[in-house]
Amino acid sequence: LPYVPQVPPLALLGKVTATTFALERPRCVFDGHADASDAVWLAVAFANASATFRNPQCRAEVPPYQQLLAARSYMTLETAAAAYSCSAASPAVLRVGGDTACRDQHRQDPCNGPLPSPGPYRVKFLLMGCRGPKAETRWSEPILLRAALSPSTIEAAPARRGSALVVIASILASLGAALAAAVLGALGAKVWGSLCHRGLGSGAFIRRSYRTHHIPPALPQPPAPGCSPPGLGPSAPQPPAPCQRT
């Protein structure tokens, strides 16, 4: 059939994730080819393994989900063909890899489990009847899952960017204040160390001892004859001449 499966072009929450992706429902594709007892399967294969995929001839040959890593392909989403008819009222999209319980079950029956790697994958729809395959679609283009490389690449709340910027600005301001305090502290320690090295610090006074002695005040002496007290003679403010004793 000329139909090519594709991821929905419209905006859809969780359209492509790290383990799942959505597909458009192939409505009206199998009308005229399917009987009431037929089923439609979805074949999922790694992009480089789609060319080697062989359609199973009966349900017992359907490759299960548990063999994906070894066989590089599996089949899932077994659905009655009537669910894809033009008259069927059904959701517009299909979720591939949405059954997380497949990881905990050791059954070998088909299961729509999470995809184990980013891929890329290719998918096609296969119409199976009681005697084997009856019709199939083309393979899709490669579908690459979106796995985040690190937590910093995940934006949980894009609408709160304003508050995030405020938090970042406050953090940068705190770092600037801490850096300024560290620089001033380093300069203060350097100056204090220089003073102590010159003997002006408190440690210099603590390590030294001083001896004091009493010096009695000098008694006033009467002026010698012919001498005038400093600053009172006629030659003030010239310095006085030395006194002459007779």
Q: What is the structure's pLDDT at 235?
A: 40
* Residue 145 burial (CB count, 10 A): 19
Which residue has better confidence, 18 or 186?
Answer: 18
Which residue has better confidence, 79 or 204?
Answer: 79
What is the tens place of the pLDDT at every residue in 158-175?
A: 444 445 554 555 566 666
Question: Locate tokens 């960017």: which residue?
Answer: 161
Q: What is the structure's pLDDT at 228?
A: 44
Range 134-150 average pLDDT: 86
Average pLDDT across the chain, whole number: 75
Range 203-214 average pLDDT: 49
Residue 192 pLDDT grade (very low, low, confident, very high; cuts 50, 70, 90): low
Question: Locate tokens 């004091």: which residue?
Answer: 212
Residue 220 pLDDT grade (very low, low, confident, very high; cuts 50, 70, 90): low
Q: What percent of the chain has pLDDT over 90?
A: 34
Q: Is the pTM of this model over 0.85?
A: no
User: Is pLDDT at 43 greater than 70 in this prediction?
Assistant: yes
Q: What is the structure's pLDDT at 238?
A: 47
Helix (H), strand (E), coil (C) string for the chain: CCCCCCCCCCCCCCCECCCCEEEECCCCCCCCCCCCCCEEEEEEEEHHHHHHCCCCCCHHHCCCHHHHHHHCEEEEEEEEHHHHCCCCCCCCEEEECCCHHHHHCCCCCCCCCCCCCCCCEEEEEEEEECCEEEEECCCCCCECCCCCCCHHHCCCCHHHHHHHHHHHHHHHHHHHHHHHHHHHHHHHHHHHHHHHHCCCCHHHHHHCCCCCCCCCCCCCCCCCCCCCCCCCCCCCCCCCCCCCCC
Domain ranges of the chain: 21-147
* Residue 103 burial (CB count, 10 A): 12
Q: Among 67-71, 131-135, 189-193, which is the least confidently predicted range? A: 189-193
Q: What percent of the chain has pLDDT over 70?
A: 57
- From 124, 126, 123, 122, select the one nearest 33 (Cα to Cα): 126
Q: Among 45-54, 63-72, 127-136, 151-160, which is the least confidently predicted range? A: 151-160
